[in-house]
Amino acid sequence: MAGEKNKEKLILDSAIALFTSKGFQATRMEDVAKKAGISKGLSYFYFKNKEDLFMALTKKAFDQLKDEFRDEWSNRSRGKSGLAMLSDLIIRISNFAKTNQILYDSVINFLDLMKKYNSEKERESINALILESVHFQKLLEIHHEPAKLGILMVSHGIKDGSIRPELQPEITFYTIWSMMIGFEKMRGPIEYEAKEVKINPENWEPGFIKLMQEMLKGTIQASKPTTVQTSLF
């Protein structure tokens, strides 16, 4: 059993390296097998096809992402506030994306896939090999698990007073997560040197975190213009 797990890990690690360097479309199963140092036939014993392999990689990505959430959630036992956990979670996810780009991209790809899966018309456009993958079925069961921990962080923050009490935890966390996804997607345009907008990665991340904190604490308030009473006589 341990030997099988080692072979699966070897194949997955080889796939990650090739998908990162060559891309998913240009990588063949025989390329993965060759890099893993096993026969093509043996690679098909563990993964039915390239789509099944990519779903397994995506499952691995969600497992690792959940570990980031779980590690941060464990800090509550040391007295860390909900707001502080969410702030540090942003940094954790940003670092995860930087150091595990293909894994992070597979998470985003799966979220896009779920949009199609939840639509009867669009579901037909999904590759049948993906839908048949046992790893895809597992993902349907576990892909909400990181978010559940994020929701607990928001609830914790409401209880400890670091997050304003009128917020609804589920809506709040999914809004924050959508902001995180947008933050990562905009990293490329922000880092582009020829842009005219005066912003850079060094000041954007702390600014992003500060804005989120102020939103959650409720310190952002619209100011009404002062009405000056005057008389013509």
Same-domain pairing of 63 and 137 = yes
What are φ and ψ of residue 157, in 5° steps?
A: -65, -35
The answer to whether position 227 is within a domain reads no
Quote the mean pLDDT of the chain: 90
Least confident of 49-53, 112-116, 185-189: 185-189
**Same domain as 26, residue 61:** no
Looking at the structure, do residues 53 and 20 belong to the same domain, yes or no? Answer: no
Is the per-residue pLDDT at 169 higher than 90? yes
DSSP 209: H
Contact (CB, 8 A) for 107 and 58: yes
Residues 6+ apart with CB under 8 A from 117: 123, 126
CA 85-89-93 angle, 5° bins: 175
Residue 191: its pLDDT value, please? 80
Asked whether residue 119 falls in the same domain as residue 132, the answer is yes
Position 29 scores a pLDDT of: 95
Burial 15-33 (b: 16+ CB within 10 A, else e): bbebbeeeebeebebebbb
Same domain, 33 and 94: no
Q: What is the CATH number of the domain that holds 167?
A: 1.10.357.10
Residues 174 and 138 in one domain: yes
- 60 and 72 belong to one structural domain: yes
Residue 36 domain-assigned?
yes
Confidence of residue 93 (pLDDT cuts 50, 70, 90): very high
Q: Looking at residue 232, what is its pLDDT? A: 32
Q: What is the CATH number of the domain that holds 43?
A: 1.10.10.60
Q: What is the pLDDT of residues 205-231, one digit of tens each?
A: 899 999 999 999 986 554 444 544 443
- Report phi then psi at 85, rounded to 5: -65, -45
With a CB cutoff of 8 Å and minimum separation 6, the contacts of 11 are 32, 33, 36, 38, 43, 46, 47, 53
Q: 3: how many CB neighbours lie within 10 A of its CB?
A: 7
The answer to whether the CB of 69 falls within 8 A of the CB of 89 is yes
Shared domain for 43 and 106, answered yes or no, is no
Domain of 28 in residue numbering reads as: 1-47
Q: Which residue has the higher pLDDT, 3 or 223?
A: 3
Q: Report how many domains make up the chain.
A: 2
* Confidence label for 3 from pLDDT (cuts 50, 70 and 90): low
Q: Quote the tokens at residue 155.
A: 């609830």
**Residues 72 and 186 occupy one common structural domain:** yes
Pull the structure tokens for residue 84: 């502080």
- Give yes or no: residues 7 and 90 share one domain: no
Whether residues 78 and 144 fall in one domain: yes
Torsion of CA 9, 10, 13, 16, to 10 degrees: -110
Same domain for 149 and 181, yes or no, is yes
